[in-house]
Structure 1
Amino acid sequence: GPEALTPSETRVAGLAATGLTNRQIAQRLYVTVKTVEVHLSNTYQKLGVRRRNELGALLANLPSR
């Protein structure tokens, strides 16, 4: 579940859930687009989701870190 995410994965997933593009997330977090893609890929696998629009509902139940 969401508790299995690393803090970085949680940050990236949270921004993706708000509708930001991978490029926008990378710029905001000062990382590469590839880093964002890796975090999202890991997040999708851990949460069992296929699309970023599925992230919001799952992350809404996650306690703040």
Structure 2
Amino acid sequence: MTLVGYTVEATDGAVGRAGYEGRQVVVTDADGERLQLDVNTVARIDHRTHRVYLGVTRGELRPTNRR
């Protein structure tokens, strides 16, 4: 599955742009930092609008998933 260039949305707003490596979604945020997310954090993908929706907040991503 190709997610490159998709917009990533947490439950409380935009996170960044998506890529995909193995079983991880790689998100580049507005500051250019990369976050690696397990695919289990993905709630749904809308291929029509090119958006990946996560089942977590932005705050939940930062402390545990920084690379």
Structure 2 length as normaliser, TM-score?
A: 0.27
The structure whose RCO (Cα within 8 Å, separation 6+) is larger is: 1
The structure with the greater share of residues assigned to helix is 1
Structure 1 length as normaliser, TM-score?
A: 0.27
The structure with the greater share of residues assigned to strand is 2
